[in-house]
Amino acid sequence: MKLDRRTFIEIIVGLSAGAGGGLMATPVNWKLMDDMTIWSQELWPRYQLGGLKGRLPQQGKVTHADSVCNLCPGGCGITVRKVGDRAIKIEGREGYPVNDGGICPLGAAGLQLLYGPWRIPSPLKRIGKRGSGNFEKISWDEAINEVVQKLGNLRQKGQSHTVACILGSDEGTVPRLFDRFLTAYGSPNFIRTASAEDTYELALGLMQGTTGSVGYDLERANFILSFGSGLIEGWGSPVRVIQAHSTWRSGDLKDRATVVQIEPRLSNTAAKADNWHPINPGTEAALALGLAHVIIKESLYNADFIEKHTFGFEDWSDSSGKTYMGFKRLVRTVYTPEAVSKITGLPAKKILTLARAFAKAKRPLAVWGRGKGTVSGSLYECMAVHALNALTGNINKPGGVSARPQVATRSWPEVERDATAWSGSRRPRIDGAGSNRYPLTRYLPDRWSQVMNGGKAGAIQALLVHEADPYYTTLDSAAVAKAFDAIPFVVSFSTCLDETAYHADLILPNHHYLERWEDIPTPVGLQKPILGMLRPVVSPQFDTRYAGDVLMTIAKSMGGSVASAFPWDDYETLLKETMGDKWGTLEKAGYIVNEGYKPSAWSKAFGTPSGKFEFYITAFDQAGVKIGKDVGYLPHYEPVQPEGNPATYPLILIPTELMRLADSAVGNPPFCTKTLEETELKKNDLFVEVNPKTAADYGLSEGHHAMLETAKGKAKVLVHLFEGIMPGVIGIPKGLGHAAYDDYLAGKGVNANSLIGVVEDPVTGLSAAWGVRAKLTRV
Amino acid sequence: MKEVHHKADEHHGAHKKTYKFGMVIDLDKCTGCGACMVACMAENNVPFRKDNSDRLRSNLWMRVYKISNGRPFPDLDISFIPRPCQHCEGSGHHHTPCVSVCPATATDYSHETGIVSQVYTRCFGCRYCMAACPYHVRVFNWWDPTWPKGMEKYLNPDVSVRMRGVVEKCSFCYHRYQRAKNKAYAEGRRELHENEYQTACTQACPAGAITFGDLKNPEHKVYKLKKSRYAFRLLEKLGTNPKVYYVSTRDWVRKAGDAYAGEEPKGVTHVTHA
Amino acid sequence: MNSASAPFDSALFPEGVKRCKFKWFLFWVAVVHGPLMVGVIAMLMCWGLALNVTYLNNNYPFGLWIAADLGIIALGAGAFFTGFLRYIVNIDELKNIVNYAVVIGVVCYAAAQGILGVDIGQPLRGWFIFWHANVHSMLTEVAFCITCYFSVLCIEYLPLILENRQLNKLGFFHGMAHHLHGAMPTIAAVGVFLSFFHQGSLGGVPGVLYGRPFAYREGFLVWPWTFFLFILSAIACGPCFTILCTWITEKCAGKRLVKRNVIDILAKISGRLLVLYLVLKTLDTVYWVVIAEKVGAPLSSFYANQPFGYWVLITELGILGVIPAIILLNAKARQNENILIIACILNCSGIFMNRWIMTVQALAVPVMSFDKFISYRPNWIEYASTLMFVWLGVVVIMLSYRYLPIFPQEKELNPS
């Protein structure tokens, strides 16, 4: 066969095509391609994770560790799923007496706080200007020495009283350690950050003569009348209240509990309520008294309780024969439905219907504390609401109100104070709490900064902050910033770079809540005593130390009576000793609860001067509170005027609180920020809620940028038209506007506290502000 | 096709246990707190970004919708609708909407569990399934997932991390089913207990609003709950046959879900705002 | 231009035709490469930085790319349909335009695949569609048919290349071209079969989405009515696109390339098919209104949100449907080149709009009552990367025109 050029080419082409085709037809190369593609997909994310740089998460055995969450005062039990040494998920602990398996979004995102880049890796010392965020790492010895030196100097100079501590709580071993330190060191200035507890404690103390705050038997109540409490939005112990809400929503329709929400805005709680009554903001007390009027007028109150166990319901005369007005007469004469309707804007008919429904319900319950309960509030308003519980005899009863009980632990030996300690701790408090002006109040967390700015700039020479973020959470941010500037030495014990830490001189990072032991007393709003135990779920991720240990080391370094006030080796020893015989159970089970706890019977329940529930507060005179007028001894409506001139600021701004947005000392983790609605946050701008009618008055539409201005400050915001808010009222979410933390939180929105100032309650000195006057202009 | 499959399932029931996992979500109880969303993200290694405010590109397997009755003040009412993947079964000649359209068989309907799966390593990102799903349960990875340094430590080893260009969605925490099944087999059981396999959102929900179980097992809670006179499913009329049921005593909520498109079951008393 | 100054590459030109100077050719190719390069950058951004660079989102998983894809393939239908008319129906005159129809077809189908490659953002995995094929998916059908048909188009294009004056001098290529020509009716028949299928399956892509009442259609066996409507609309507009491209090429070349009677045949056929399409589409629309109502989606809900108001329906069927149909049916109107071209533009825009509606508007219409309507517009990256393939097509056409015997009548119409 002759092979010419053409045939040769044909053969070559044919063979190549055949070979190529044949190879394509075998599955081998396709399989290889498939594998390669899959590898590429596995490798790429690994690369993204930094797996090639050794950041790939470790595998290991799956285990579970029980602990307690302390991101809010809710004190839920948690179960942490672990793989090897890594904590990979936080879940609600089943069977835990607070939350039985449930968890809130913040708690579920806790690991982002544990492993996040906002953690403080070691003791840090500020370099450069305060607030510039420049810190350098220092050793624990250096850090502690610095504190010892500063505090030692102050003490030597006789200025021990200029040292203050701000904490988020005053219960449990750690807050008590700080308190003890101040006592031994010589300062009266232990300050607890603001919450509705401040006022509730006082109201209960005055009306019932009990100490401590309030507990509600929510689960067994069947008519819940809420005066602006964000029941399902983080009020009280959030998961517990949501679970109670589900109890109210269970069973046949006709058997379900009724929830009524009084609030100028359709919050989630209002939306889920059976009835929502929007009333003029700040007029809650008037409405409560209006309801009392109807209940009394129609004799719907619990006569047995009122007659036998209350004082000051009827008019009464003292030994000298002077007659005093009782609650009944005040309410009957002043708070008629018509008058109350005028104040609150709620039709008189609705007041009548609501009062009857409330009083006739089997187990009615009136609850108080705006939003999540993060502001103190007005004393008389709290008392007016609590009076409704008294009228229905709803105290220390199933489905009622009682004082929040604690599990008893061992007390510590009395502090042996030296002369400096004695003189220092007897000095007046910087915030004025306990002074002649505000003799009843224990802490005035929103007032110390005002006092400092009001001419006492040197009043605090050193400030220690633990589990609190006063720089962020205190009302009137500008005033707080100014006061902070005047404090020469600020020490933060924070685990993460919150606003206070950011503006501190020294950060002594505590172990994260998943890395340490600590006792958690009865959570807020619980009516049964519960003691929970934080326990280390993972080993400390960074060079951190127990705040208790650091504090004791400081005390011991100072020597003398300060040192001897702390006879314990370390914090864990102290904790075990304090728990005493309960330690075994706490270590093993993680908590102690007294499910069978019953509050005292009416006959023994009240520690007031009269031994009864007091509508007329006799303790005012005993304590030396100056009450100007007769009605001042009774729950009554005293308008708390929002700050600002109505002519300049025609609108009312109220803070709103969202379940998905932490607004206290804990910065919102990225997961929670991610769940915010599109009408709450857009890029770095937050939305304020405006009624479409109001918006139309100011030429604003959905999504418009606007300048929100109050007497305290101004901020650029976005407008969200919301039919659920009263015309004339603007709602601004709390929890944004951080400058510290990191890119996942910092720079988003504005801090509502920077727009709202303090309005002092005339009796307690606490902030009674529920809002502020504002104006909104298009930009 | 589908009918044949089901008969086959029953026929072989003795050999292979089959389930029809589904949910009943009580909207009267749901408070819109968002714990389900967070628990889902934590369980399933769902990434997050510095700015997540654009919901159109946000990666949420479980999304809680905030819906309103559209009335003016003070008659406005709001409800929340948590929306996981509906795990549609399809009906009549319709397959599951997304499963039938995926060109690469990257999503499939399991006749063992009734779960609509998503095979991330097979998805090439055509997004046809997203177009097919009327519930917007499917999300695309518009970015590569990244975690700030240190945060990779909480990643769940049971769930793979998805790269950019891949569609993902709620799997009813299928990995939990696998774990539960392995455990049951190891203990010589063929059938899972009701509580043995629960999704992360169900477990987290503080309101106990989500109930999860086998819809065809009369002993499971969901079996009874789905028969409530207040129960409905989203877009029922389309015939997608979802396995997520909702319960609400508010009529406008049910209507918004398109259950009855205006018709009401008889004898229903409505809870309305005064 | 005279023969004395013939371009240096004139030896490569088809027999007896004139072409511009090489430097001018190079200049225009370079000009086209400007926007083409912008498109390349856009494409690389999509692949390198992921699809967040576009304006697509979870509500609009499909956007300009998919709409353009469907539109371009419909426009490319001129290739198979002209082939069908030439080789199977045996309308001999069409041999004078069928080559160009094939070139346009190659360009369109290459563009469609290219756009898909960008759209998925994961071109490395694109072949999963074949490897893990799901036979129930319309997209699988599309992928298989398009790839196969693209191969057919290449085979149809091959003889044109081989017929280049210099290549054709090689005996092997000459013979190959000759044989391929002989096989062309068979190849065309295969192409027609494949094309019918993928045009149809493209219609099936939105038509099967029963979760989207706007797009969903009932149908025949596994094929929704859109399956058939898409075939019909494609063959009704494909010839118009061929006419349009020829006209543009003639304008650029500054001379006639195809005789009017050939154009007229295509225009006439296009017009008749367009009428048929409009009738069926109207019936479909009426029936669609009824079934959509049944699943709780009244017509008004489809057109409740701007920019997708009723004007869309009116424009698509009226302005871009009925008007070109009337023109194309009228012999006199067809004779007027300007009017004919307007009709072609309207017809082609109509098809594009239809594809946009069936993909993008189908996604825009909220399905759940609490879904919010979100508007979408493509960003420059989407435009640039889509247009990149158009510019690429222009280059292919420029090269083909210069060096390949695309227009058999060119010599006759332009005697030297």
> What's the pLDDT tens digit per position in B214-259?
999 999 999 999 999 999 999 988 889 999 999 999 999 999 987 5
User: Could you say which of A45, A104, A238 has the minimum Cβ distance to residue B145?
Assistant: A45
| Cβ within 8 Å, pair B206-A103 | yes
Task: Say whether pLDDT at C169 is over 70.
Answer: yes
Chain C closest-CA separation from residue B78 CA (Å): 11
CB A281 within 8 A of CB A759: no
Looking at residue A380, what is its pLDDT? 97
How many domains, chain B? 1
Looking at residue A50, what is its pLDDT? 58
In a domain, residue B91? The reply is yes
| Mean pLDDT, chain C, integer | 90
Sorted by sequence, the CB contacts under 8 Å of residue A629 that are 6+ apart come out as none
Q: Say whether A756 sits in a helix, a strand or coil.
A: coil
Size of interface B-C (CB pairs under 8 A): 150
CATH (domain of B48):
3.30.70.20
Say whether both C39 and C94 belong to one domain. no
Chain A closest-CA separation from residue C125 CA (Å): 7
Neighbours of chain A (3+ CB pairs under 8 A): B, C
Architecture field, domain A651-778:
Beta Barrel (2.40)
Q: Please give the Cα distance from C395 to C124 (Å, whole number).
A: 26
Say whether both C38 and C74 belong to one domain. no
In a domain, residue B265? The reply is no
In a domain, residue B94? The reply is yes
| Chain B residue with minimum CA distance to C358 | B131
Q: Hey, is the C-beta of C129 within 8 angstroms of any chain B C-beta?
A: yes
Say whether both C338 and C218 belong to one domain. yes
CATH (domain of C77):
1.20.1630.10
In A306-373 the beta strands, taken as DSSP E runs, fall at 310-311, 316-317, 323-324, 364-367
In a domain, residue B210? The reply is yes
In a domain, residue C405? The reply is no
A592-to-A530, A588, C76 alpha-carbon distances in Å = 6, 10, 77
Closest CA to C9 of C410, C159, C20, C158: C20
Chain A closest-CA separation from residue B172 CA (Å): 17
For residue B28, report the phi and psi dihedrals to the nearest 5 degrees.
Answer: -70, -30
Q: Please give the Cα distance from A575 to A42 (Å, whole number).
A: 47
Task: Say whether pLDDT at B7 is over 60.
Answer: no
Looking at residue B138, what is its pLDDT? 96
Residues of each domain in chain A carrying CATH 3.40.50.740: 137-195+411-512+544-566
> What's the pLDDT tens digit per position in C241-286?
999 999 999 999 999 999 999 999 999 999 999 999 999 999 999 9
Give the residue, C278 or C131, on which the prediction is more confident. Answer: C278
Looking at residue A47, what is its pLDDT? 67
Helix axes A379-391, A284-297, angle to 10 degrees: 20
Closest CA to A332 of A636, A617, A610: A636
In a domain, residue B101? The reply is yes
All residues of chain C having their beta carbon less than 8 Å from the beta carbon of residue B69 are: none
| Cβ within 8 Å, pair B35-A672 | no
> What's the pLDDT tens digit per position in A287-335?
999 999 999 999 999 999 999 999 999 999 988 999 999 999 999 999 9
Q: Hey, is the C-beta of C124 within 8 angstroms of any chain A C-beta?
A: yes
Question: Which residue stretches of A487-570 are H helix?
Answer: 499-502, 547-558, 560-564
Q: Please give the Cα distance from A299 to A752 (Å, whole number).
A: 44
User: Could you say which of C128, C131, C172 has the minimum Cβ distance to residue A9?
Assistant: C172
Beta strand pairing status for A685-690 and A705-710? unpaired
User: Residue C46: which domain range?
Assistant: 15-52
In a domain, residue C168? The reply is yes
All residues of chain C having their beta carbon less than 8 Å from the beta carbon of residue A6 are: 171-172
Topology given in CATH for the domain delimited by A137-195+411-512+544-566? Rossmann fold (3.40.50)
Buried b (16+ CB within 10 A) or exposed e, A539-570: ebbeebbbbbbbbbbbbbbbeebbbebbebee
Q: Please give the Cα distance from A331 to A306 (Å, whole number).
A: 15
Q: Hey, is the C-beta of B1 within 8 angstroms of any chain C C-beta?
A: no
Q: What angle do CA A581, A584, A590 make, to 5 degrees?
A: 120
How many domains, chain C? 2
| Chain A residue with minimum CA distance to C132 | A34
In a domain, residue C309? The reply is yes
Looking at residue A9, what is its pLDDT? 67
CB B88 within 8 A of CB B96: yes
All residues of chain A having their beta carbon less than 8 Å from the beta carbon of residue C374 are: none
Compute CA C228 distance to the chain's CA centroid, rounded to the nearest angstrom.
17
pTM: 0.93
Q: Hey, is the C-beta of B182 within 8 angstroms of any chain A C-beta?
A: no
Looking at residue C301, what is its pLDDT? 86
All residues of chain A having their beta carbon less than 8 Å from the beta carbon of residue B74 are: 266, 276, 278, 726
| Cβ within 8 Å, pair B273-A274 | yes
Q: Please give the Cα distance from A194 to A174 (Å, whole number).
A: 18
Architecture field, domain A214-403+606-633:
3-Layer(aba) Sandwich (3.40)
> What's the pLDDT tens digit per position in B103-127?
999 999 999 999 999 999 889 999 9
In a domain, residue C210? The reply is yes
Residues of each domain in chain A carrying CATH 3.40.228.10: 214-403+606-633
Query: Residue A424 corresponds to which tokens in the numbers above?
Result: 């220092």
Looking at residue C305, what is its pLDDT? 83
Interface of B with A in 235-274 (CB under 8 A): 249, 269, 271, 273-274
Task: Say whether pLDDT at B8 is over 50.
Answer: no
Q: How confident is the model at residue C127 (pLDDT cuts 50, 70, 90)?
A: confident
Q: Hey, is the C-beta of C91 within 8 angstroms of any chain B C-beta?
A: no
Looking at residue B269, what is its pLDDT? 39
Sorted by sequence, the CB contacts under 8 Å of residue C347 that are 6+ apart come out as C236, C237, C240, C270, C274, C320, C324, C328
| Cβ within 8 Å, pair B166-C129 | no
User: Residue B61: which domain range?
Assistant: 2-256
In a domain, residue B269? The reply is no
Mean pLDDT in residue range C160-164: 87
Beta strand pairing status for A135-137 and A163-167? unpaired
| DSSP-assigned states of every residue in C173-241 | HHHHHHHHHHHHHHHHHHHHHHHHHHHHHHHHHHHT-TT-TTT---EETTEEHHHHHHHHHHHHHHHHH
- Candidates B25, B31, B173: best to mutate against A (most CBs of A within 10 A) is B31
C115-to-C52, C121, C144, C233, C387 alpha-carbon distances in Å = 17, 10, 16, 21, 9
Q: Hey, is the C-beta of A584 within 8 angstroms of any chain B C-beta?
A: no
In a domain, residue C236? The reply is yes
Looking at residue B251, what is its pLDDT? 92
Q: Please give the Cα distance from A632 to A625 (Å, whole number).
A: 10
Query: Where does residue A227 fall: left (phi above 0), alpha (psi -120 to 50 degrees), or beta otherwise?
Result: beta
User: Could you say which of C119, C132, C143 has the minimum Cβ distance to residue B105?
Assistant: C132
Q: Tell me what ipTM this predicted complex has.
A: 0.93
The parts of chain A modelled with pLDDT lower than 70 are 1-3, 5-6, 9-10, 13, 23-25, 37-38, 40-56
Say whether both C266 and C138 belong to one domain. yes
> Other C-beta atoms within 10 Å of C262: how many?
19
